[in-house]
Amino acid sequence: MANRNVPNVVDTQSSDKSRAFRCHLLIARDEEGGYSAIVLNLPGAGSCGDTEEIAIENAREAIAGVLESYLEADEEIPWVDSSAEEIPTGAKHLWITVNA
């Protein structure tokens, strides 16, 4: 099995085969009034929504789909170090856990 960059895997006591992954989200208000949620440590993953909460939930679903694709293909998940990311003025960032 490919390297999964273990620091982003959360230790779980789940009896199923899913694992939990730590994802770093940037939440920003769009000019049109909605919100974007971009995953800073997983390139190409993110979503949007009418509220912050909906954007986060939509991003969680998108992340799960991306992670499942990598896992099913037995490919390495392309995690990146997001610790140096600059957070734009007015935006928020948070860590969430996603099961895949």
Q: Tell whether the model's pLDDT for residue 16 goes beyond 60.
A: no
The pLDDT value recorded for residue 43 is 94
d(CA 72, CA 54): 27
The pLDDT value recorded for residue 54 is 98
Q: What angle do CA 65, 77, 15 make, to 5 degrees?
A: 65
Task: For residue 32, tell me if it sits in a domain.
Answer: yes
Task: For residue 39, tell me if it sits in a domain.
Answer: yes
If one counts the domains in the chain, the total is 1
Structural domain range at position 31: 18-99
Task: For residue 35, tell me if it sits in a domain.
Answer: yes
Task: For residue 4, tell me if it sits in a domain.
Answer: no
Neighbours of 46 (CB within 10 A): 20
Task: For residue 75, tell me if it sits in a domain.
Answer: yes
The pLDDT value recorded for residue 18 is 77
Neighbours of 84 (CB within 10 A): 6
Q: Tell whether the model's pLDDT for residue 6 goes beyond 60.
A: no
Task: For residue 3, tell me if it sits in a domain.
Answer: no
Task: For residue 47, tell me if it sits in a domain.
Answer: yes
The pLDDT value recorded for residue 53 is 97
d(CA 13, CA 6): 16
Token pair belonging to 62:
């998108």
End-to-end CA distance of the chain: 16
Q: What is the CATH number of the domain that holds 94?
A: 3.30.160.250
The pLDDT value recorded for residue 10 is 65
Tell me the per-residue pLDDT of 50-72, one tens digit each, with 9 for 90 and over.
999 999 999 999 999 999 999 99
Q: Tell whether the model's pLDDT for residue 24 goes beyond 70.
A: yes
